[in-house]
Amino acid sequence: MAEYKIIGGNPLIGEVKIEGAKNAVLKMIAAAVLSDEEIILENVPKVSDVQSMLQIFKDLGGEYKEEDSRLILNGAKIHSYKLNEEITKKLRASIVFAGPLLARFGRVQMFHPGGCSIGPRPIDYHLKAFTQFGAKIKNYDKYYEISIRKPKGTTIYFDDVTVTGTENALLFSVLAQGESSIRLAALEPEVQDLIALLKKMGANIKFHSFGRYEVRGVKKLHSAKHKILPDRIVGATFAIIGAATNGHIRIKNFLPEHNDLFLFKLKEIGVPYQIYQDVLEIFPHKSLKPTKIVTRVFPGFPTDLQAPFSLLLLQAEGKSRIFETIFDSRLKYLLELKKMGANIEIIDNHNAYIYGPSKLKGCEIKSLDLRAGATLVGAALMAEGNSTIYNTELIERGYENFSQKLVLLGANIKELS
Ligand code: EPU
């Protein structure tokens, strides 16, 4: 268990460079199962979820080399279709090994994936997609066994948009015989980046119309090199914490086209900023206005930014509303903010009102998941006095050197483990 000791009150000042996107690279590691040639990834973030995915890859027989932020994956010696129970239960992304293993071996044995505690994380959309492709699913006490005679393309429909579900369908269909059409598919930039890698490997994928990918299966995928897109959630988190401490920071590797609605919301509440190509500069503000945040699939407001954005709502003058539509239990961090003195009314698992401006005071709080953890660090930096945040190892699952980057911006954080 790790913890941070934080003394709040310093506005953040300086420049921070954003790493590659966690939610893109994790799926690319699974994509390397599809080829027996080298896949080279650049701009790979140093986060613990990447290490967990690499452990699974190795456990299946895959080989890899890490060279600073480069990762060289080779799936030639993959021999197993069984996912390791202990590691797959650690993270949600482990489920995207199912599609490639099913395409390569015609079978996969897997456990229900774990992940952040943000509410139930069912996998019925994944299983239904595999069933539509013709797979047979056996649900044993502890694990699932999925098998298919001959991977063949077809049209599949999701009940609702799912990021990892779409990725699994893509990762299966690129090697399935014939044509597949994936309907009600996710459009997140990380899904697009996975598609970009798959195309470099020789896959035939076309974006047809809103929420629909058309895939023509190929016999073999070959080696490829790909630079991972910058992490839009990490970039926006730094922008928020910079603004929440009323600081002046420059965020490098920030792609505005991936953060459209977030930038609109920043402007709407009165955070002054400027964009120069891939740099976002946040300036100090005088006062902030309240607003409403409704989380939606891309291009809507990302659920992963719902918690961080609350830091700005805490300072806005008046009543703001949060409506979390994606996950059932992603408002629990608000209880921690209340301990710090925030004036918040939690209506139910999806709705809350924030009354600002709130003066926060330092206290002992607990990180509940990766985004909530980053949010509490921001809250402690805004607060008067000392805070201790527990379970900060959760933050390192998806933010590379988070505390060190903040310290370079002038934050007073000590890491203990
Ligand atoms: N859902 C089902 N059944 C399924 C799959 C999903 O009911 O089989 C529901 C979920 O419960 C949720 C909604 O569908 O209500 C959307 O879930 P989705 O499948 O899109 O989420 P995910 O693929 O498990 C990814 C990211 C999350 C991010 C969400 C939404 C990864 C590894 N995780 O999760 O990232 O919040 O998409 O954008 O890509 C994070 O990075 O902190 C994180 C939680």
| Atom 40 of ligand 1, nearest CA residue | 304
The pLDDT score that the predictor gives to residue 337 is 98
211/287: higher pLDDT: 287
The pLDDT score that the predictor gives to residue 125 is 97
Question: What percent of the chain stands above pLDDT 70?
Answer: 99
pLDDT, tens digit, for every residue of 39-87?
A: 999 999 999 999 999 999 999 999 999 999 999 999 999 999 999 888 8
Q: Are 189 and 247 in the same domain?
A: no
The pLDDT score that the predictor gives to residue 142 is 82
Q: Using pLDDT thresholds of 50, 70 and 90, give the confidence band for residue 385.
A: very high
Ligand 1: centre distance to CA 337 (Å): 24
Place of tokens 């697009």: 192
Domain termination site, one of 192, 207, 227:
227
Q: Are 80 and 195 in the same domain?
A: yes
The pLDDT score that the predictor gives to residue 1 is 84
Ligand 1: centre distance to CA 406 (Å): 28
Domain termination site, one of 180, 203, 227:
227
CB of 159 closer than 6 angstroms to any ligand 1 atom = no
The pLDDT score that the predictor gives to residue 210 is 80
Q: Summarize the confidence of residues 382-396 as an average pLDDT.
A: 96
Which residue range is the domain that position 267 belongs to? 3-19+230-416
Ligand 1: centre distance to CA 76 (Å): 30
Mutation choice for ligand 1 from 53, 170, 259, 326, CB with most ligand atoms inside 8 A: 326
Q: Give the contacts of 343 (CB within 8 A, at least 6 positions apart).
A: 354, 355, 356, 358
| Atom 27 of ligand 1, nearest CA residue | 304
The pLDDT score that the predictor gives to residue 117 is 64
| Atom 2 of ligand 1, nearest CA residue | 122
The pLDDT score that the predictor gives to residue 320 is 98
The pLDDT score that the predictor gives to residue 3 is 96
CB of 125 closer than 6 angstroms to any ligand 1 atom = yes
Place of tokens 């393309």: 153
Ligand 1: centre distance to CA 162 (Å): 6
The pLDDT score that the predictor gives to residue 88 is 87
Q: Are 236 and 383 in the same domain?
A: yes
Kindly list the distances between the CA atom of residue 161 and the CA atoms of 46, 257, 297, 326, in Å, as whole numbers in the listed order: 29, 21, 7, 10
Q: Are 213 and 263 in the same domain?
A: no
CB of 163 closer than 6 angstroms to any ligand 1 atom = yes
Catalytic annotation on 363? Answer: no
Q: What is the 3-state secondary structure (H, E, C) of the chain?
A: CCEEEEECCCCCEEEEECCECHHHHHHHHHHHHHECCEEEEECCCCCHHHHHHHHHHHHCCCEEEEECCEEEEECCCCCCCECCHHHHCCCHHHHHHHHHHHHHHCEEEEECCCCCCCCCCCCHHHHHHHHHCCCEEEECCCEEEEECCCCECCEEECCCCCHHHHHHHHHHHCCCECEEEEECCCCCHHHHHHHHHHHHCCCEEEEEECCEEEEECCCCECCEEEECCECHHHHHHHHHHHHHCCCEEEEECCCHHHCHHHHHHHHHHCCCEEEECCEEEECCCCCECCCEEEECCCCCECHHHHHHHHHHHCCECEEEEEECCCCCCCCCHHHHHHHCCCEEEECCCCEEEEEECCCCECCEEECCCHHHHHHHHHHHHHCECEEEEECHHHHHHCCCCHHHHHHHCCCEEEEEC
- Indicate the average pLDDT of the chain: 96
Ligand 1: centre distance to CA 164 (Å): 7
**Across-strand partners of 279?**
252, 276
Indicate whether 118 pLDDT > 70. Answer: no
Indicate whether 123 pLDDT > 70. Answer: yes
Q: Are 150 and 267 in the same domain?
A: no
Q: Using pLDDT thresholds of 50, 70 and 90, give the confidence band for residue 319.
A: very high
Q: Are 127 and 103 in the same domain?
A: yes
Q: Using pLDDT thresholds of 50, 70 and 90, give the confidence band for residue 119.
A: low
Q: Summarize the confidence of residues 278-291 as an average pLDDT.
A: 97
CB of 84 closer than 6 angstroms to any ligand 1 atom = no
Q: Summarize the confidence of residues 91-117 as an average pLDDT.
A: 89
Domain termination site, one of 227, 248, 277:
227
Indicate whether 307 pLDDT > 70. Answer: yes
Range in 194-198, 209-213, 273-277, 354-358 with the lowest mean pLDDT:
209-213
Q: Summarize the confidence of residues 294-321 as an average pLDDT.
A: 98
Q: Are 188 and 248 in the same domain?
A: no
pLDDT, tens digit, for every residue of 158-186?
A: 999 999 999 999 999 999 999 999 999 99
Q: What is the CATH number of the domain that holds 10?
A: 3.65.10.10
Indicate whether 121 pLDDT > 90. Answer: no
Indicate whether 116 pLDDT > 80. Answer: no
CB of 165 closer than 6 angstroms to any ligand 1 atom = yes
Q: Are 186 and 267 in the same domain?
A: no
Q: Are 202 and 246 in the same domain?
A: no
Q: Looking at the CA of residue 303, tell me the nearest atom of ligand 1.
A: 36
The pLDDT score that the predictor gives to residue 36 is 97
Mutation choice for ligand 1 from 162, 229, 232, CB with most ligand atoms inside 8 A: 162
CB of 162 closer than 6 angstroms to any ligand 1 atom = yes
Strands 13-17 and 248-252 turn out to be parallel
Q: Are 243 and 348 in the same domain?
A: yes
Domain count, the chain: 2
Q: Summarize the confidence of residues 208-224 as an average pLDDT.
A: 94
Q: Are 188 and 244 in the same domain?
A: no
Question: What percent of the chain stands above pLDDT 90?
Answer: 91
Q: Summarize the confidence of residues 209-216 as an average pLDDT.
A: 92
Q: Summarize the confidence of residues 283-305 as an average pLDDT.
A: 97
> Per the residue annotation, which of 16, 34, 110, 116 is the catalytic one?
116
Q: Are 57 and 36 in the same domain?
A: yes
Q: Summarize the confidence of residues 225-246 as an average pLDDT.
A: 98
Q: Give the contacts of 276 (CB within 8 A, at least 6 positions apart).
A: none
Ligand 1: centre distance to CA 89 (Å): 15
